[in-house]
Amino acid sequence: MSLLRRLFSGSSPKNARGTPQIFLTNTLTSKKELFVPLKPGKTLLYSCGPTVYGPAHIGNLRSYVFSDTLVRVLEAAGYRVQRVINITDVGHLVSDEDDGEDKMAIGAAREHTSPAAIADRYTKRFVDDLHALNIDTEEIRFPRATQYIREQIALAQTLEQKGFAYRIADGLYFDTGKFPGYGKLGNFSSADLEAGARVAVAHGKRHPTDFALWRAAKLHDLQQWDSPWGKGNPGWHLECSAMSRSLLGTEIDIHTGGEDHIQVHHNNEIAQSEAASGRRFVRYWMHNAFLTMNGEKASKSLGNVVYLSDITEKGFDPLALRYFYLQAHYRTPLSFSWAALEAAQSALDTLRRITADIGAESNRKSTHSEARERFLAAMRDDLATPQALSILWESLRSEEYHPREKWGLILDAEAHLGLALDIPNAYGVVALEDAPERVRALLREREAARAEKDYARADNLRAEIAAEGFTVEDRPGGTELSKNS
Ligand code: AMP
Ligand code: ZN
């Protein structure tokens, strides 16, 4: 995949070092800006991850297809992207408040097990969902908050030593009054910020917007750790600041998340990280708009959510969902309906048929074209996926382009959109009928094991197939077999 993504970077305007120019909307300035990374040719990217107390819904998944599209654009332009998505497996609360019911405890009670078992179950499901959406999960680091307690405590200690934090009975709080420019992300007025902080709770808070760095343990807390402030657990903004710093460094290039995180979570991350380091935390903040269900925000607490499993159980290809997302710009709200998903599935099927025809006509040979330039320019213009899709459709249907020009466009589309348009030769795929009988028999056995969800046996069979000199990969749309060179 990465080879394909790198194959064509086109001849659009280039930066001094030869990487094509990419423009991104930065929430920090509310402007579309030329992307200039900290280090030439590299991008450090952090995306806020899910709280693993249940499956991620298709609203959450929109956020990760958005960041994956960003990664594809960067990689196709020649950047090496280091990627982190955190896994929130510590008991954060149902709302942004510092009090309320703990999400991991809710999950554990619902499924009669421990928070750790719930976290394992839904982390695996989350990664599987991303994989099904054609996101290269092997290239992503998924740190868990519970594995970074030491780093979170160290960060809170630094903040306390530097005078940015104070102790109250409820724990250790960040003093937003001490951080100049608190709330700069999203240009919120102090009235908005105070309303967003939903004051109430925590006796002794100095300002409504102050937030917990460390929460003193409550009797019912299932997860608690020792700390300089007594037993307790980290405040819910702290993990992102601590893990981003540990894995990517003090200053990073891009941080993504849903737009609901701008006001409180991301302003608090900025306050913690910049107060601790005295340096800028993130160069480009990028946020996706919401997926809505019948005009309402999709959210677990509202109970109006759809999961990827609902979609596949109805017989849709997970990539029909990816296509559906890409039809809207990431900063535009998108309303989900089953009819719209059906339309996306049918468009994707047609695109795959067209791809197969063009593959045959072009003999899978590609050449440069002005259509490809326009496609790349759209993707590099703040990920304008609706425009890119319409350029793709128009050009593939047009008589003006040679099949090889169209094949080149399909390669670019595949690298940037990740829709598994079926370019078997590029993957070195072997047609099933060309595989030796022994390998075919092992494949059939493996399919049966997978159907019975006997994944241990399926893995053993994969190893046996490897011993025969072939690699099996489970890709969206089916299993792929390739011969090892
Ligand atoms: P959470 O587990 O609630 O922190 O959500 C994980 C990610 O999904 C965050 O970046 C959220 O901002 C994002 N998100 C949550 N709900 C939606 C939605 N309905 N549409 C798009 N993104 C969402
Ligand atoms: Zn975060």
The 10s digit of each residue's pLDDT in 340-374 is 999 999 999 999 999 999 999 999 999 999 999 99
Percent of the chain with pLDDT over 70: 89
Residue 232's H or E segment, with its range, is strand 232-234
Number of the ligand closest to the Cα of 145: 2
Query: Is residue 359 lining ligand 1, measured as CB closer than 6 Å?
Result: no
User: Both 257 and 339 in a single domain?
Assistant: no
The closest alpha carbon to 380, from 3, 35, 29, 6, belongs to: 35
Residue-wise pLDDT for 145-182, tens only, equals: 999 999 999 999 999 999 999 999 989 999 999 999 99
In the reported structure, the alpha carbon of residue 315 is separated from the centroid of ligand 1 by a whole-number distance in angstroms of 25
Whether residues 122 and 217 share a domain: the answer is: yes
Confirm whether 294 is domain-assigned.
no
pLDDT reading at 455 higher than 90? no
Q: Residue 372 is part of a domain; what is its CATH number?
A: 1.20.120
Is pLDDT at 8 greater than 60 in this prediction? no
In which band, very low, low, confident or very high, does the pLDDT at 9 lie, cut at 50, 70 and 90?
A: very low
Tokens in use for 259? Answer: 């737009």
Residue 38 domain-assigned (yes or no) = yes
Does 263 fall in a domain? Answer: yes
Ligand 1 within 6 A of CB of 239: no
At residue 401, the pLDDT reads: 97
Question: DSSP character for 429?
Answer: B
Pairing of strands 211-216, 171-174: antiparallel
Last residue in a domain, options 393, 417, 441: 417
Same domain membership, residue 375 and residue 235 = no
Q: How far is the CA of 480 from the centre of ligand 1 (A)?
A: 32
CA distance 389 to 134: 18
Query: Running DSSP on this structure, what letter comes out for residue 217?
Result: P
Residue 306, ligand 1, Cβ within 6 A? no
Q: What is the DSSP letter of 216?
A: E
pLDDT at residue 91 in the model: 67
- Please, what's the largest Cα pairwise distance for the chain? 74
Shared domain for 354 and 281, answered yes or no, is: no
Q: Which residue has the tokens 């003999």?
A: 363
Does one domain contain both 274 and 165?
A: yes
Q: Are residues 405 and 439 in the same domain?
A: no
Q: Who has greater pLDDT, 343 or 303? A: 343
Query: Is the distance from CB of 118 to CB of 53 less than 8 angstroms?
Result: yes
Distance 55 CA to ligand 1 centre (A): 12
CATH number of the domain where residue 235 is located: 3.40.50.620
Interatomic CA distance for residues 425 and 355, integer angstroms: 13
Q: Ligand 1, atom 17: nearest CA belongs to which residue?
A: 59
Distance 439 CA to ligand 1 centre (A): 43
CA angle 165, 170, 175 (to 5 degrees): 20
Contact 361, 355 (CB under 8 A): no
According to DSSP, the β-strands at 31-34 and 165-168 are: unpaired
pLDDT of res. 428: 43
Mean pLDDT, the chain, integer? 88
CA of 341 to the centre of ligand 2 (A): 29
Instruction: Please state, in angstroms and as integers, the Cα–Cα distance from residue 280 to each residue in 38, 254, 274, 471, following that order.
Output: 12, 12, 6, 45
Best residue for ligand 1 mutational test, from 60, 62, 294, 334 (most atoms within 8 Å of Cβ) = 60
Q: How far apart are CA 135 and CA 63, in angstroms?
A: 12
pLDDT, greater one: 220 or 141: 141
**In terms of domains, do 186 and 316 share one?**
no
Residue 167: exposure state from Cβ atoms within 10 A (0-12, 13-18, ≥19): middle
Residue that terminates a domain, selected from 417, 439, 463: 417
Ligand 1 atom with the smallest distance to the CA of 259 is: 12
Q: How far is the CA of 50 from the centre of ligand 1 (A)?
A: 7
Cα-based torsion angle of the residue sequence 101, 50, 242, 245 in order, rounded to the nearest 10 degrees? -170
Please determine, for residue 272, whether its predicted confidence score (pLDDT) is greater than 90: yes
Amino acid found at 233: N
Residues 219 and 367 in one domain: no
- Residue 232 within a domain: yes
Q: Using alpha carbons only, what angle is made at residue 282 by residues 280 and 284, rounded to the nearest 5 degrees?
A: 130
Q: Are residues 451 and 348 in the same domain?
A: no
pLDDT in tens, 277-286: 999 999 999 9
| Residue 437 host element (H or E) | helix 437-451
Is the shortest distance between the CB of 115 and ligand 1 below 6 Å? no
Whole-angstrom Cα distance, residue 234 to residue 173? 11
Which residue has the least CA distance to atom 11 on ligand 1? 258
Q: Cβ distance 208 to 201 under 8 Å?
A: no
320, 290 Cβ separation under 8 angstroms: no
Q: Is residue 298 part of a domain?
A: no
Cα 252 to Cα 92: distance, rounded to the nearest angstrom: 25
Domain endpoint, select from 371, 386, 417: 417
- Residue 302 in domain: no
For residue 202, what are the domain limits? 3-288
User: What tokens does 449 get?
Assistant: 């094991």
Q: Is residue 198 a contact partner of residue 232, using CB atoms and an 8 Å limit?
A: no
Q: How far is the C-alpha of 444 from the C-alpha of 404, rounded, in Å?
A: 36
Q: Tell me, in angstroms, the distance from the centre of ligand 1 to residue 63's CA.
A: 6
Rounded to whole angstroms, the Cα distance separating 361 from 383 reads 30
pTM given for the model: 0.84
Ligand 2 centroid, distance to 49 Cα (angstroms): 7
- In a domain? residue 300: no
With CA atoms as reference, report the closest residue to 420 among 484, 334, 348.
Answer: 348
Q: Based on the fold, state whether residues 229 and 134 are members of the same structural domain.
A: yes
Tokens describing residue 44: 């450090």
Pocket test for ligand 1, best of 63, 95, 304, 325 (most atoms within 8 A of CB): 63
Give the strand pairing for 42-47 and 80-85: parallel
SS3 state at 266: helix
Which residue, judged by its Cα, is nearest atom 2 of ligand 1?
A: 50
**Residues 315 and 276 occupy one common structural domain:** no
Checking if the pLDDT of 130 tops 90, the result is: yes
Looking at the structure of the chain, the number of domains it has is: 3
Would you say the CB of residue 297 lies under 6 angstroms from ligand 1?
Answer: yes
Regarding whether 182 and 206 lie in a shared domain, the answer is yes
Report whether residue 257 contacts ligand 1, using a CB cutoff of 6 Å. yes
For ligand 1, atom 18, the nearest C-alpha belongs to 59
In a domain, 59, yes or no: yes
**Distance (Å, rounded) from C-alpha 77 to C-alpha 376?**
9
**How far is residue 147's CA from residue 119's CA, in Å, rounded to a whole number?**
12
Percent of the chain with pLDDT over 90: 67
Q: How far is CA 112 from CA 92, 102, 104, in A?
A: 19, 15, 12
What pLDDT sits at residue 197? 67
